[in-house]
Structure 1
Amino acid sequence: MSSEIPLLDSGHLAILGGGVMGSAICRGVLSRALATPKQIVVADPDPSQRARLHSSEEVRVVAAAGDALPGAAMVVLAVKPQMYPAVSAAIEGRIPEEALVISIMAGISLDRMRTDLGHDAVVRAMPNAAARVLQSASVWIAAPGVREEQRLQAERLLGALGDAVEVREEGLLDLATGLSGPGPAYLSLVAEALIEGGVAAGFSRALAQRLVNQTFVGTAAL
């Protein structure tokens, strides 16, 4: 889809969690011109994270999750799963009625989120670490309460992180956690082993790394 079409007709994008994945979403959305910095609010309790994001991406930042919600058209849950109980308790009943919620947390089901948050328009997604360079392989599913225009919003936001595929069975997201989720880590181990083998054979580390990197790029293009 064209990056010239705004992601939001009104309101703003609230990202709860300014860590690796929350930052990646900021970069992806901004790099595709899907929203302006003024249309993004990131909530994170860590002052250093807030300062970094405000400085690097020029987005608005707040400390409390609930403070990012008023006027939000989309809400992204980009916190670690172990933080979910506290975050859900803080935002329950405070999400704007027409907003779309997108979760990128592993292991938290659609039904649980709909119950905990008191909100029906929820999308659950499973990106991987390659989202950091906007090359994620993501799988996502929408709850029955998600409207068609909201599905398109989810598709565009997740597409800003790389390739995003919608599925109809939630169990496939749990499978993706074990397939594409840790995939970059597995491939990195293989690449490192090949590089070490090249160094042992007499290549400089820089040359071995260059050859292995290009081998992976070429293989992906086959």
Structure 2
Amino acid sequence: MFEDKTIAFIGSGVMGEAMIRGLLAQKNVLPSQILAADPWGQRREELNDRYSIGVTDDNREAAENGQIVVLSIKPQTLPYVLPEIRGHLRRQDLLLSIIAGTPIKKLANGTAHAAVVRAMPNTPAQIGQGITVWTSTPEVTDVQKQQAQAILASLGQEIYVDEEEYLDMTTALSGSGPGYVFMMMEALIDAGVHLGFSRRIAEQLVFQTMIGSVNYAIESGKHVAELRNQVTSPGGTTAAALYHMEKGGLRTVISRGIWAAYERSVSLGKGKAEEDPEG
């Protein structure tokens, strides 16, 4: 699939490195087939020492040498990077972007390149446990789709969608989703400390409860509402807690928050702001 192909990463931060690490771990490519562009000399040395890959400080060089070019930069740097690589991709090359809130049209126009894949991974991708939703332009060939799928699978699970509008929905639900989960975990831990546990024990209880609950839900194959009913005895402790959570509007607050994230993603895509919604 990647024979005689060079994968060039423009932007070699945590997500770029996660893809590099995943591709090499899965033995999809050799280190000699990866070229990483980064403006910081120390960062380039780190990547070369860890993975024995090629490195450069020149984005144009990366675009010219890669048959697959991965844009893994922050949205705020895009206005500087696009002019640098514009016209340096060949017609048969593939451009794959994981830049939050940046639509395909902007990428295609900015690079003067038609074969574009846009993907939205999330934070757990850094440990190979992420979920990525992606789509592509009609100019992306079947072989290129397979290549994009393999690259994104190095971050965890991946889902292909036909319409780009699903990417903004993905940003709101799973892209920003870890932030919601972390806040819930923080609230549970603080509640445990308030009850009298040490923070260390409260963290251990919450972490394993979250992990165990998710794995149980996946393996059971049951609807989460049915699972919730199983642990909610009439007049019991769980029923008391859930009553107050429902009374406080927990579901509504979560739903409104996700909708706000979706609207923000749409507005970023329209160019109303140039910033990373995940900070």
TM norm structure 2: 0.74
What residue number does 1:197 align with? 191
Uncovered stretches (5+) of structure 2, i.e. residues with no partner: 218-279
Q: Secondary structure at the match of 2:35?
A: strand
Number of residue pairs aligned between Structure 1 and Structure 2: 216
Give distance in 2, aligned partners of 1:117 and 1:206. 50
User: Deviations for 1:91-136, whole angstroms, at most 9, x for unmatched residues?
Assistant: 1111133211100012221122212211111100000111111111
Verify: 1:16 aligned to 2:10, yes or no. yes
Deviations 1:165-202 (A, max 9, x none): 01111111011111111111111111122112222223
Q: Which amino acid aligns with 1:66?
A: R
Sequence identity, in percent?
39
Q: Does structure 1 residue 213 correspond to structure 2 residue 203?
A: no
Does the Cα contact within 8 Å between 2:69 and 2:93 map onto a contact in 1? yes
Q: Deviations over 1:14-65 (max 9, x none)?
A: 0000111111111111111111211110001112221221122221110011
Q: Which has the larger radius of gyration?
A: 2
Aligned to 2:66, which of 57, 61, 72? 72
| 3-state SS, counterpart of residue 164 of structure 1 | strand
CA shift, 1:212, in A, is 1.1
Q: 1:141-187 CA distances to partner (integer Å, 9 max, x unpaired)?
A: 01010000111111111011011101111111011111111111111
Could you tell me which amino acid in structure 1 is paired with residue 33 of structure 2? Q
Q: Quick one: which of 157, 161, 176 aligns to 1:182?
A: 176
Check whether the contact 1:40–1:60 (CA below 8 A) recurs between aligned residues.
Answer: yes
Which consecutive segments of 4 or more residues in structure 1 shift more than 4 A? none
Q: CA deviation at 1:79?
A: 0.6
Alignment of 1:88-167 (within 5 A): 88-167=82-161
Q: Which has the higher helix share?
A: 2
Structure 1 unpaired stretches of 5+? 1-6
SS at match of 2:73: coil
State the secondary structure of the residue aligned to 2:101.
Answer: coil
Could you tell me how far apart the structure 2 residues matched to 1:67 and 1:73 are?
Answer: 12
2:33 maps to what in 1? Answer: 39
RMSD over aligned Cα, in angstroms?
1.3
